[in-house]
Structure 1
């Protein structure tokens, strides 16, 4: 844990720590769209996954602007440059730093699945062909250094497939699977590992992010997996 005196420029912190900086700053985003935030006091958040986000004192959890990983951050006195793999740049110009604070959060166990989500995972483990012909189950709850992957499968060609199962698929679930894939693809016994994001419903924003990261989305029918047939007689 570290608190920098007010006015000191940002410095490199712990690799796995979350970093919170309160500073008067302006922000410019240059990419497919350009955006500018004029000088104001804001909260800058640098997370262990490499993401950088800028927050105001409103809008609940939603940042004013952000850069998702993978990206690289370069720090110089008074300026942060955050660049993603597409070459888009988030430039943060620091006029005055009031607090610069880092804290090691450690490994997060992740969300505890509710009854439906846990049962959905169990059913998909029994029916790995849901993800494609020839898919077979290797293990449920495959443990990584940052938590368990719901399902580890092999496809028809014998390649590894990591599946994250959610009842409702949102951006947080895609981020979670991205971190798992980053670690698993470093293991020569598993790599290359394909990611699959499976849910009863997948939000459009989550689908866009997953597709951008090469993760396949699969919408699953919970009732069908349970062997329940929908009523054939309907009013209309």
Structure 2
């Protein structure tokens, strides 16, 4: 596992965990996810998102940055064995080794306790069985380049105003109104 400082920076890897997990959220409201196989994404900014295979493209539950992720090994005999972590994994080592007795007793392999840095929101994810825990360095993202957005259409219309009709004249683009900006065209 990669060790990281408490402040996640944009070049730290994305962490993808596939696990049988449950989650409890408390904060502005209370919500819970029962035990099921899910995908957890821990992004470079430390935000955590929980997805299911079916349904919406949106996460079932999440905690946005800024937040702090504390990774807890329930099998640890003392508080010395708990681990502080952020997007890249445990700071003081890997905690994936568990005794057969603890697994047979139904103890979770790991607990991720995510707390908002501003406010009292807490998301606690109990990882009962971890199928995969990987990190990926995605590098710098160049961003999304959009084509055909409103600005392009306005420019196209302004350059070819005669297509609207003979004598059409662009009066003003982005004229502010009570319901939002409009483009004024006179005929």
Segments of structure 1 that go 5 or more residues without pairing to the other structure are 1-10, 123-199, 201-218, 232-236
Task: Provide the residue aligned with 2:33 in structure 1.
Answer: 37
Shift of 1:92: 0.6
C-alpha distance after superposition, 1:54-98 (max 9, x if no partner): 111112421111111111111111111111111100001111111
Segments of structure 2 that go 5 or more residues without pairing to the other structure are 74-109, 156-173
1:79 aligned onto 2:111:
yes
Which protein has greater RCO, CA pairs closer than 8 Å, 6+ apart?
A: 2
Task: Provide the residue aligned with 2:126 in structure 1.
Answer: 93
Shift of 1:121: 11
Instruction: Return the TM-score normalized by structure 1.
Output: 0.46
* CA–CA distance in structure 2, aligned partners of residues 72 and 31 of structure 1: 15
Structure with more of its chain in helix, by fraction: 1
Task: Provide the residue aligned with 1:22 in structure 2.
Answer: 18
* CA–CA distance in structure 2, aligned partners of residues 121 and 50 of structure 1: 39
Shift of 1:117: 4.9
Indicate conservation of the 8 Å contact 1:120/1:222, yes or no: no
Match of 1:58 among 54, 57, 68: 54
Alignment of 1:1-236 (within 5 A): 16-77=12-73, 78-84=110-116, 85-117=118-150, 119=152, 221=181, 223=183, 228-229=184-185
Q: What SS does structure 2 have at the residue aligned with 1:106?
A: coil
Indicate conservation of the 8 Å contact 1:25/1:42, yes or no: yes
* CA–CA distance in structure 2, aligned partners of residues 20 and 55 of structure 1: 11
- Paired residues, what number? 122
Shift of 1:36: 1.2
* CA–CA distance in structure 1, aligned partners of residues 181 and 133 of structure 2: 47
* CA–CA distance in structure 2, aligned partners of residues 121 and 79 of structure 1: 52
C-alpha distance after superposition, 1:77-130 (max 9, x if no partner): 1111111111100001111111001100011111113244554899xxxxxxxx
Question: Which structure would you say has the larger Rg?
Answer: 2
* CA–CA distance in structure 1, aligned partners of residues 2 and 139 of structure 2: 18
Q: Which contiguous aligned blocks of 4+ residues in structure 1 show a shift greater than 3 angstroms?
A: 11-15, 115-122
Compared with structure 1, are the counterparts of its residues 79 and 117 closer, same or farther at alpha carbon in structure 2 (3 Å cutoff)?
A: same
* CA–CA distance in structure 1, aligned partners of residues 43 and 59 of structure 2: 13
